[in-house]
A and B are shown apart, each in its own frame.
Chain A
């Protein structure tokens, strides 16, 4: 069975003594196991090298369907584990030639992993996005300016209205973020996604991640609801997605060399 070359894919790291419940299948349908590596254990799958090794990754690096499919499967394993257990997620690609190499990499990162666990212990990550609904007012394009002065006046009014909207969006984003950050242990504000990426009519005005203690989750939701109620009448939507394993608050890489 394993006479053919294989690789070990690592999803994430858990405490060494954890009795984590594992999902049945992970990337490309492979079985998910927990490999003890000293102080920590790694959630992993073994796959044929031809299907998941370095050359395979090189070939599929620009393959949207393959990447998205593998990313989702990887995420679902971590999602499942993270619901009951603190887990340090690993990013893709995350393959090792064998269990020995994986164990060696994990042991060499013991101190960094311990520090990362101290940060995430008892916490989950929540994403909060704030969206602005499109301006419902239709400009009177049909009304031709009677004079050049009228035209300039209209342009000035439109520019002022736009500035006011921008200012209000900034105000909303800041208010929502600051209120949520008070309940969270850590927070990070991420770049906004344009409408070509989101495909939504609304504009994104805040994209942030919060590391929230499991025990204060309801307080966090309460603040999110309060902010939604406060800014809703101004045309803003507050959207909470989660819970996530703490991707945004850990930057552990097991022996991957980063170029660029």
Chain B
């Protein structure tokens, strides 16, 4: 049985969410999987994945054993955890690329389900699996992650992890899917919006900027969008090959910086200004001083505030 979230077509932040329980599980859908694979992927595609998983199990049984053992350890880890969640991301990531089939099987096909796991452990397990798969950026995982995003899990953190994981692939054709998943989330939209920035593409920054310009978003949502812009333009992320290969560094970072400075200069909300400033510094774009100078011209009444931002940028450790 799966739980699917349905939202009314209202601007996010204003819409109500209704939780519906779908009908009986399909025969191809194991109770613990994130979604019904045949339904989500199509029968042929699902069959193809099952075959590849079976082949991987023959070639790399170790990964499957390790995933199963990690799952069994979750109650202990949850009990020993420190903080607001359980994470097994790094152990899963240590499986490497060959481990993705075991993870995909657990999450999308044969997973054991929540069973006796408490809510924290269950969430942590699914989030960690999604994160670990997303980090690999392997093309054969993309259709599964797209299905995970469309599934729109009732747990906002799980839904967020799916958005973040797919976004990391950096495929511009996924931008609409990702943005819609976040904006149609209703009251929890802010939890997904801050994950959009992991899709570090110009098309995503354009959409994020448009979202900021669209009225009707509540403060948490706007703060998440500002955070996403920071993530998209993150100075250190752009030093890595997985992100640089798009060739869009200047387009993304300059657009993100400009959008953030514009909000900084125009918002009357202190928390938005703070978040925008933080994100400007995280982006650390080299032409930020010039962008700030231009903003001062457009918004002379904010000169003092923009000067303050410029000073902070000048001493930023991330530039």
Binding between chains A and B = no
A interface residues (Cβ-Cβ under 8 A, vs B): none
